Structure 1
């Protein structure tokens, strides 16, 4: 390996020396320390996959003294293969002294290290894959580490100061990711709560939470009093396969090619239904928590959908975005559609576009619909903002892992 190949693409200022090739046997030893005196209890049992305390997770009462003691800085081998880690991975313990199942292999450092660096470096697939190819064997349930083979392998290691700089950088980035993840999660939970509290419960006519100025009871009417079936077809060929739309539970109505990477349309799209901006689409396919399909509003540009979808036009007495918000709660959507739908042998929805409108909904005045819709639009924008920030930070971390390690 050339000297140039022994340095990462991105380095902190002041570090110019190549990383040193070191054998695992010069840095680690096999750790077989056992909890023979039972000083550590079940509350100190660690999940190797997450390095968090899991309280024993069903371990037998008489097995505690056979468990391995894993100290801070020790690394355990977690042998499950997945798309990211083809031969399993090492996980560094930074949670505190704990216990681990004796079936896992554990290594203990014998030289000074910066654990914040090794936490990210030791599971890094690009570095560890060629090493684990030679140091693991296939077991009955997962890959097994062969410690003697691992100890003969080498890995490139920077000096302690550079280890500390890299580890601190990635740790701070992880803290930022965790912060945005918590903000995102809180907003998602808040929205779920508002979808419940800002709409009347079954048998009631007013919601638990309401905007000031609105006091009239909500009215029970059939959905067909608010929307009508659209019969507009693409008979003149105004739209082509590039204009085909799909319905996503998370993203709403989206362009099929942009969302799924290709068109799934048939040879002709002349019989496809036209979906204008503001139209409502019911997809008669089970999706995740919606066994009877979902209802979404087209907030984008016009397009077309296959005949498997039902397309509706809003009447003047309804704010079209309110329709989507109303049916966004899974329980409300499922309770509405369940009496109207018969499921076929292939789990498809046996319901006509007209019959899907025969259920009863409880709606407020159009003015209140607008206020509620605008509230959820702003909330969705805030959720999307934090989601994008989170994705950006995760992509930055992935890029740094690729460029800060050799």
Structure 2
């Protein structure tokens, strides 16, 4: 069996990683295919489709009683494989997952959080080899035959998964802060300058009370023209 050692790892872990087929350490379960007349506006179970992970906030429902394998519960590892693809840990209520989603049940060889980032890295590798296109054909048998590197020690897997999850949460937190400050800046730009037809801004520092004056931009700046440079090929 092939082995490999990562360049960066946590201390006290020094054993080589091993390469395993995904199908040997996990089971991929197909979701259920629905005909249009089976998609209800209301029902007992929401039907989870690929778009619900991304931008589609609309849901269909079903009242059908299905085999338990067709349901996803909070904490299940899922993989979207049509149009948009990649791994997710489901954080919502019990749902029926659509045919374009696999549920991945792991053996004792894999930690779930580690498996999420392992599959996410594999997705990035697929994208990097596809000229940026997300229209990549992925089959269940192809995924099961995929060879992935994993630590033999599950403790190392847990350590990596926990670390990357905390990093991801930190990134999300800072992204939310960034969006907050962008909206704040936009609001301030609207209110710290007088609006059309007004001479006072609606928001200003307390020590300033005078009206603003209107001037031509050319009266406030001095224009200096740059020099035109010729290239060696076209000296003139």
> Does TM, scored on the shorter chain, surpass 0.5?
yes
CA displacement at 1:2 relative to structure 2: 5.6
Shift in CA distance, 228/105, structure 1 to aligned 2, threshold 3 Å? same
2:216 equivalent to 1:203: no
Residue of structure 1 equivalent to 2:18: 20
Cα distance in 2 for partners of 1:11, 1:149 equals: 29
The structure 1 segments of at least 4 consecutive aligned residues displaced by more than 6 Å after TM superposition are none
1:150 counterpart (118, 138, 143): 143
1:8 counterpart (6, 9, 12): 6
The answer to whether the Cα contact below 8 Å between 1:26 and 1:110 also exists between their aligned partners in 2 is no
CA displacement at 1:195 relative to structure 2: 0.7
Shift in CA distance, 29/225, structure 1 to aligned 2, threshold 3 Å? same
2:176 counterpart (182, 185, 192): 182
CA displacement at 1:24 relative to structure 2: 2.2
TM-score normalised to structure 2 length: 0.71
Structure 1 segment 24-173 matched on structure 2, within 5 A: 24-32=22-30, 34=32, 39-41=44-46, 45=48, 47=50, 51=53, 54-56=56-58, 69-71=71-73, 72-80=75-83, 89-96=85-92, 97-102=94-99, 104-112=100-108, 113-125=110-122, 129=126, 142-158=135-151, 159-173=153-167
CA displacement at 1:166 relative to structure 2: 0.1
1:220 counterpart (214, 224, 230): 214
- Give the superposed CA RMSD: 3.7
Single out whichever of 165-174 and 9-18 deviates more from structure 2.
Answer: 9-18
Cα distance in 2 for partners of 1:144, 1:226 equals: 60
Gaps of 5+ in 1: 81-87, 134-140, 241-265, 269-406
Cα distance in 2 for partners of 1:183, 1:217 equals: 34
The answer to whether the Cα contact below 8 Å between 2:17 and 2:150 also exists between their aligned partners in 1 is yes
Residue of structure 2 equivalent to 1:267: 231
Secondary structure of the equivalent of 2:16? coil
Cα distance in 2 for partners of 1:53, 1:196 equals: 29
TM-score normalised to structure 1 length: 0.44
| 1:302-324 deviation per Cα after TM superposition (whole angstroms, max 9, x unaligned) | xxxxxxxxxxxxxxxxxxxxxxx
Number of equivalenced pairs: 213
Shift in CA distance, 14/151, structure 1 to aligned 2, threshold 3 Å? same
Q: Which has the higher contact order (CA 8 A, sep 6+)?
A: 2
Cα distance in 1 for partners of 2:142, 2:218 equals: 71
Shift in CA distance, 210/91, structure 1 to aligned 2, threshold 3 Å? same
Secondary structure of the equivalent of 1:31? strand
Residue of structure 2 equivalent to 1:305: none
The answer to whether the Cα contact below 8 Å between 1:7 and 1:19 also exists between their aligned partners in 2 is yes
CA displacement at 1:207 relative to structure 2: 0.7
